[in-house]
Each structure stands twice: as structure tokens, then as C-alpha cells.
Structure 1
Amino acid sequence: MTTPTAWLTVARREIISKLTDKTFLWSTFGLVAIIAGIFGVQAFMANRASEYAVVTSSSAAHQMAEQVKTVTEEDHDKTTVALSRSDDDAAAQELVRNGDADVWLHEGNGGWVLSGKTDVPGDLLTSATTAIRDEVMGVNAAAANTSVEALQRGSEVSTALLDVDADRAVMAQVVGFALAMLFYLASFTFGLALANSVVEEKASRIVEIITTKISVRELLAGKVIGNLVLAFAQMALFVIVGLVGLSFTEFDRFVPAISGAVGWFTAFFVVGFGLLATLWAVAGALSSRTEDVQVTSTPLTMITMAILFAALFADGTVKVVLSFVPPFSAIVMPMRVLEGSAPWWQALLALAILVVAAGLVVRVAARLYQRSLLQTQGRLSLRQAWSTPE
């Protein structure tokens, strides 16, 4: 006797079995910790306050160091410069060697020198170069009875970007790679687990008992939906942690645009994963032993790899075409939305095509699953499964 909620019982069983699997839990929270750690390090580095100690050994050098301090702290709002003055050059060098000062600012032959123990901090050097240049130019301009503005007139260098969305393009590539990897990992790990679950139940003959209570199609629906819920929850957890972490970095301005693209990715993920999950279930049903899954799932492994490579390397016209071709559109179209190269109507059209394709695949997969699940004579081919009577 079947019930209207039989598939729900199967789905709940799939979810509970995963949530009580320590390997699954440790791998999930391990990846969350890695993602949080990556963004945590970036946020720490971006917000880390720096303090440099500059020592001088003459009045002229000390006056110049004050200009360096002013420019450095204006250029870097989380950087402070502490000034000190020693009695002579030898004492200043000793302070740097002992680590009590980062650099020694002194006059050299025809200019100024920043001497460090093993290196000179890059941001301090850049600001010091600007401060010293401007100060010396002002002195030279006064000596020549002119002004700094007159000396600098016509020397300004400005920048212009032919691609005004360059930053967004880089961010789109990084986020697109992350989303493509999430889809690949979810499709492969949950799909392979689904196939193994099916073949284990088949090999132990427990499926023969289950199918006396519920139909094979309800069993398939429950397994696919259960794994879809788990994969979606895991993916959502990773994305949320990533977006929260991104908001604490210098790229926080991209969070609204990425959030919108994630909405499209979610819709495509659900449909695309559902399409592939039914095929993984068929791969398990075609097998009679766990060892057979490696053979029956080879085409699916190649498909998931092809989707990943298409997302990473497809470009130009090829990328546009693949964004409408199932199952590649499951990840390529959200990437185009993120890049800003696909309007909403193209995304909606690609999603509609993917839904239709998923519906057709599910119908075919359901027939193959139903006709091969209870066959235990050995590994079946697709032709054998299709022609086997119900």
C-alpha cells in the first residue's frame, strides 16, 4: 500500500542518515571553517594597523621625517609613524640593528636614504618618496624664484579604463569559479553517494521489501528530493559564510551584485542538481554491486567535469551558447548574470529550457530506474534497462 507521503518518508530517511554521518558533518563544517578562515585572514590583513619607528640623527633629517610622518599617515589611515632622534649616526644604526627602529632616515650623496635592517617597508617607502620629493621640490622652486605648481605644470599623469567594469569582471571570475566548484562538488559527492545508496539497498535485497510498501517512482522521488535538500542546505551554508566574509573585506561593495546573481544560481542549482541526481540514481540502479557503480557512473562523472571546465574556460560565443544548453546552463548562465553580460530575460529563457530538459530527463530516468532496480542478474546496459518489462 502506498501513501501520498511515501516519498516524504524516504526523503526524511535520506536526510537523517546524512545528518547522523560524522564524515559528512566533519567535511561540511571543515569546509565552512576553511572559507571563514580565508576571509578572516583577508579581513585581518586589510584592517591591520601598522606602526613604523623612524629614527634620525640630525635636525634636517628630523624635519624631513616629520613630513614623511604626515604624508604616510594621510595615505594610510591605519598606519602611524613614531619619530625619534639619536645623538649620532652610529647610535641611529644601532637602534635599527637592535630592532628598536624600523628605518633610519638620513642624508646621502645627492638625496635622502632610508636604511633598514633587512628591508624597508614598501608602504613607508612609497609615502616617504612622495613626501621627500614634494619637500625638496618646494625648496628648489623657492631657490629658482618659481613655484612647485609651475614646475609640475604639464607633468600630471592620469589613468583611464577602457573597461569600466574591470573590477567587477575580476570579482565575477573569482565568484563564478567558487560557484562552479560548489555545483561540481555537490553534484559529484551527493550524486555518487546517491548511486551507492541505491546499489547497496539493491545488493542487500532490502529494496525488494521497500517496494512492497511504496512504488519505485516514489522511492526515486524521495531519494532525489532528500539529497537535493541536503545539497542545497550545504551550498547555502557555504554561500552565506562567503558573503558574510566578503562583507568584511575591501570588496564589500560587490556584495549586493553578487547576492542578486546568487539568487539566479540558486534557481539553476535546484533544477540542474535535480536533473543530474536522477541520472545518478539510475547509475546505481543499473549496478548489482558497489564495484559496478564506477562503470555505470562514468558518463555522469564526465558530464560533471565537462560542466566545470565549461564554466572555467568557455568564453565568447561558446560561453553564450552553452549558457542556454542543459545541463551546462546550470552554472554558465548564472556566471554570465554575475558578469553583467546576460539580461534577465536571457536568464529566464535559459531556466525555462533547463526546466523542460529536466522534466524530460526525469521521465526517461524514472523508466530506467523502475525497470532496472529489481534486476539482480548483473550490471545492466541502458538498452537492456529500457527494454526490460516492468
Structure 2
Amino acid sequence: MSTQRETDRDTEPAWLLVTRREVVSRITDRSFLFGTAFMVLLIAGFIGFTAWQEDRSEDATLAATPEAVAMATAIGDGAPQVDEDLTITLLEVDDRAAAEAALTEDEADAWLHPVDGGWQLTSESSLQDSLTTVVEAVVRQQVLADNAAGAGTTVEALEEGSAVTTDFLRGDAEQAAVADAVGFVFVFLFYFAALVFGMQLASSVIEEKQSRIVEIIAAAIPLRHLLAGKVLGNTALAVIQLLVYLVVGLVGLSFTPYKSFVPALSGPTAWFIGFFLAGFVALACLWAVAGSLASRTEDLQATSTPLTMLMLVMFFGGLSLDGRGQVIASFVPPVSAVVMPKRILAGGVEWWEPLVALGLLAVFAAITVWVGERLYRRALLQTGGRVSLRQAWSAAE
């Protein structure tokens, strides 16, 4: 049985052997597993905290002297119409001294009392935001109703024609907020994966080159197979990790007040995975080239600077671009890998636009792999010092 397994392994393509080695060595590495588990816990914790915040109700105690009891009662009754998460309890006190004592001893959150020209809400030392908002709204409505009755009319008549409504060309405000948040997650995950896996890929290339192990490997398999195995192995790991994060995020989101948006996020998420795959392959190949141009670990910062700058452009471009600039960037590789998924999330994208953008990104990835493979092969075995791009391109095979 073991002989058959060894025979099958001998007949496998070299790139597949390298891919398996990259995946197995990393997926059994404790730092990789702990890092993934930590990120999963971070995502789950953030979603859990968000759900708790959304479902959390707030209680407030409002102190009122005898002349303010009627208004305080109206505030307590009208609070649910202004803020459904706030419950107001009335605390009747005899006079100003009793009200101040209730605030000092934390028996009340605020004290309502009349002043010249209106009402005043006094708290101990900090502003009660939710309570203040409710009090302002209810007091205004109550006083307006009393004034209208005194003038022989109604509040509705006084407010006729003053209503302001809102509308959106696409979706609604809550949907737009969710799209912005998920778009940020898409951009961050791409940047994080490309940077972490790219640096590790480049470092492994340098280690093999510096220890001269690559010369032994080159005698056994073609260098293009070594490059393909490294790129595919790291791509597989990055996609696996990405899928774990996305599944945890979508499942966690289904337990929050935003669960109704989960079905609508499934399509953009699938598109993001496709754009991530094409964009990551291109960048992974460039990271391998950055490693092959260096002769020691200290050289990596210099050889990877252009690539790092490109990733920063992608990150900040994905977050800040909007309007016509965003539309144009969504078709320009490799920035399109993060910009087009954000446009899909926002809605209003024609069906052919993601297909064209993904096709252009795939072409860019293919060209990058072809150029990167030539640079990688010609720079990898040069150990006399840091190799420039011109030297690598013109070097003999």
C-alpha cells in the first residue's frame, strides 16, 4: 500500500508537490492556527457586542417637584414614541433640595423643573443624551399642544405643510450603512491577507535562496513549478482563511438586528471571493519576485517597497474613492479587486460591469504571472547581492 502511495507521489506534477508542502507546513503551524482562531474570536466578539448594543434597553429616573409632575408624567408616557429603547421612571420630590439630594445620591438621573421661558433638565455632572432627546421632543410637543388649544386651533393645523420626508435613489439609510461597513471589511480582509501571506511568501523565498537550498530544488524541478506551487499554496491558504472569516461574519450577522440583510449580502460576497482570488494570485506572484530579488532578509524592505505602496493605494483607494472616480477605478486592475465589490454592495451596478471588471483583472493576473515567472526564474539563483528588476529581466537563463 505504501509502495503504491510512493509511486503516485512520484508521478505527481512538481508544482502540486510544492503546493501540498506549502499548505501542510502552514496549516499545521501553531502561529497560523492561533492567528486564525484569534481573528475568528475577534469577529464573533465584535458582532456579539454590536448585537448586544442594538438590543440593550436603557432605564432613566426623572425627578420632578410638584409643579413639574404633570409634565414629567407626559414625558414618561411619550418616551416610547421618541426612543423605544428608553424607559423613564418618575420620582416625585418635595422641593429643590430634595431633587438635588436625589441627583447627588444617584437616586435620579436628572431633575425636571420649570424656569423662565421654559423648562430645565438638571443632571448631577454629565449630560444624559437619550433622556435629554426625549424630554426636548415631548416637552415641545406638549407645550405646542397647550398653546394651540389656547389659540383655539390644533397642533395638526399649526404643523400643516411642515413635514419633511426622506427618500433614497437606492435602498435606504440602514442598508447603505450596512453596505459601507461590509465594504470596509472586504477592503481590510484583502489588504490583510495580501500583506500577511505575501510577506510570508517572500520570506520563504529569501530563506531558501540565502541557505542555497533553492539550488538543490532547482536541480530536481523546474523553477516555474516551484513558483507555481508557492503561489497556489499560499492562495489556497488565503482563500480558506477568508472563507472562514466570511462564514463566521455572515452567520454572526444573522443573530443581529441586521439579519434581514444577510441574503442580500450573499451575492456581493460571492463576487468578492472571485475578485479576491484573481487579485491575490497577481500580488502573490509579485511578492515571490520581491523575495527572489533579495539575497538576504534585510533586502526585502527595499525590494518590496513598490509592492507595499501599490497595496496602500488599493487600501485607501478602496475606502475613499466615490462617484465617478470609484466607477473608473472599479475597472482598473488591481484596484478593481476591492473597488468593484464595494460598488456591487452599494447597488446600481449593471450586470455586465462585474464581468468586465473581473475579466480585466484576470488578464492582469495572467500578465503579472507571465512577467513575474520570468523575473523569478532569472533572479532566484543570483546570490551575489540584491538584484534589480532590469538585471533580472535581462539575465541569461
Distance apart, 1:72 and its partner CA: 0.8
Q: Percent identity?
A: 46
Worse overlay, 317-326 or 140-149: 140-149
Distance apart, 1:275 and its partner CA: 1.2
Please give the residue correspondences for 1:1-390 in structure 2 after superposition, counting only pairs within 5 Å. 3-58=11-66, 61-150=68-157, 152-154=158-160, 156-161=162-167, 163=169, 165=171, 167=173, 168-249=175-256, 251-390=258-397
Q: Which amino acid in the other structure matches residue 9 of structure 1?
A: L
CA contact (8 A) 2:109 2:124 kept: yes
In structure 2, the CA distance between the partners of 1:298 and 1:121, relative to structure 1 (3 Å rule), is: closer
Q: Which amino acid in the other structure matches residue 284 of structure 1?
A: G
Worse overlay, 262-271 or 165-174: 165-174
In structure 2, the CA distance between the partners of 1:328 and 1:74, relative to structure 1 (3 Å rule), is: closer
Distance in 2, Cα, partners of 1:221 & 1:183: 21
Which runs of 5 or more structure 1 residues have no equivalent in the other structure? none
Distance in 2, Cα, partners of 1:309 & 1:107: 52
Runs (4+) of structure 1 exceeding 6 A deviation are none
Q: Which amino acid in the other structure matches residue 335 of structure 1?
A: K
Q: Which amino acid in the other structure matches residue 286 of structure 2?
A: L
Which runs of 5 or more structure 2 residues have no equivalent in the other structure? 1-8
Distance apart, 1:279 and its partner CA: 1.9
Q: Which amino acid in the other structure matches residue 274 of structure 2?
A: A
SS in 1 for 2:160: coil
SS in 1 for 2:125: coil
Distance apart, 1:170 and its partner CA: 4.8
Per-residue CA deviation, residues 308-345 of structure 1 (Å, 9 max, x unaligned), is: 23323444444333322222222222222222243221
Per-residue CA deviation, residues 226-269 of structure 1 (Å, 9 max, x unaligned), is: 11112122223333344344445555554433332121111011
CA contact (8 A) 1:114 1:120 kept: no
Worse overlay, 181-190 or 301-310: 301-310
In structure 2, the CA distance between the partners of 1:319 and 1:145, relative to structure 1 (3 Å rule), is: closer
Distance apart, 1:155 and its partner CA: 5.7
Distance in 2, Cα, partners of 1:377 & 1:113: 80
Worse overlay, 318-327 or 96-105: 318-327
Q: Provide the TM-score with structure 2 as the length reference.
A: 0.86
Distance in 1, Cα, partners of 2:83 & 2:324: 44
Distance apart, 1:90 and its partner CA: 2.5
In structure 2, the CA distance between the partners of 1:146 and 1:243, relative to structure 1 (3 Å rule), is: same
In structure 2, the CA distance between the partners of 1:364 and 1:47, relative to structure 1 (3 Å rule), is: same
Q: Which amino acid in the other structure matches residue 180 of structure 1?
A: V
Distance apart, 1:162 and its partner CA: 6.3
Q: Provide the TM-score with structure 1 as the length reference.
A: 0.87
CA contact (8 A) 1:194 1:227 kept: yes
Distance apart, 1:352 and its partner CA: 1.4
Aligned alpha-carbon RMSD (Å): 2.8
Distance in 1, Cα, partners of 2:336 & 2:221: 34
In structure 2, the CA distance between the partners of 1:299 and 1:119, relative to structure 1 (3 Å rule), is: closer
Aligned length: 388
CA contact (8 A) 1:61 1:107 kept: yes
Distance in 1, Cα, partners of 2:302 & 2:97: 76
SS in 2 for 1:82: strand
In structure 2, the CA distance between the partners of 1:235 and 1:155, relative to structure 1 (3 Å rule), is: same
Distance apart, 1:219 and its partner CA: 1.7
In structure 2, the CA distance between the partners of 1:226 and 1:83, relative to structure 1 (3 Å rule), is: same
Distance in 2, Cα, partners of 1:130 & 1:61: 16
